[in-house]
Amino acid sequence: MQFDIFVNPIPDLRRVLPYVVVLQSDLAETRNDRIVAFVARTAELKAIPTKLMPVVEFAEERWAVMLPTLTNIPRTLLRRSAGNIGEARDKITLGIDLLFLGV
């Protein structure tokens, strides 16, 4: 499930932030919740600090993983994976390091 992308389960946000990506490790069991970040189309953003919001390819489009929007979402709302961006693991990890450790 880590790095799987799901349709944003919050209907009011879907127009601007259509997806979420699970960042939580499959080994870090937290019962009913999963730690996610929202995902936005790069074409709709004015400026992207790419180290903090890594750009990934998904569904033949470019998307920014909005790491500053980390939140938890009930696992039951993440129904069917629309894809996986595990190939961007290193970029995402570097962004998380910058967000929390400043490096």
- pLDDT given at position 29: 79
**From CA 2, how far away is CA 68, in angstroms rounded?**
18
**From CA 93, how far away is CA 74, in angstroms rounded?**
23
Reported as type and span, the H/E element at residue 102 is none
Mean pLDDT of 5-32: 94
**From CA 51, how far away is CA 72, in angstroms rounded?**
22
- 50-102 confidence digits (pLDDT tens): 999 999 999 999 999 999 999 999 999 999 999 999 999 999 999 999 999 99
Q: Kindly report the CATH number assigned to the domain that includes residue 75.
A: 2.30.30.110
Whole-structure pTM value? 0.94
**73: helix, strand or coil:** strand
Q: How many structural domains comprise the chain?
A: 1
More confident residue, 47 or 6: 6
- pLDDT given at position 30: 79
Q: How distant is the alpha carbon of residue 43 from its chain centre?
A: 17
pLDDT band at 31 (very low <50, low <70, confident <90, very high): confident
- pLDDT given at position 9: 97
